[in-house]
């Protein structure tokens, strides 16, 4: 459905259709010293953990 159709039918949604929010983690990094794991590295760590703990492979 288009945005106009959804608005016209007054279909309730859990998010606004007329705006987009982009969040940055910069403030939490500066305030708390949080370091984010790059996506590929995080997936590699999860895969390795799975094989060590679930699959039984080392």
Structural domain contains residue 27: yes
Q: What is the largest CA-CA distance in the chain?
A: 57
pTM value is 0.44
Range of the domain at 38: 3-53
Structural domain contains residue 58: no
Give the pLDDT confidence score for residue 55 in this predicted structure. 73
Give the pLDDT confidence score for residue 39 in this predicted structure. 93
Structural domain contains residue 23: yes
Contact 50, 39 (CB under 8 A): no
Three-class SS state of 18: coil
Convert the pLDDT of each residue in 16-58 to its tens digit: 777 766 677 888 889 999 888 999 999 999 999 999 998 765 5
Give the pLDDT confidence score for residue 54 in this predicted structure. 87
- Give one word for 10, left, alpha or beta, with left for phi > 0 and alpha for psi -120 to 50: left
Kindly state the tokens that stand for 20. 């987009």
Domain count, the chain: 1
Structural domain contains residue 48: yes
């Amino acid at each position: 459905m288009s945005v106009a159709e959804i608005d016209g039918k007054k279909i309730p949604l859990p998010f606004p259709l007329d705006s987009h929010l982009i969040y940055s983690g910069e403030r939490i990094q500066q305030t708390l010293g949080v370091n984010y794991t790059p996506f590929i590295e995080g997936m590699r760590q999860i895969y390795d953990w799975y094989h060590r703990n679930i699959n039984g492979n080392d």
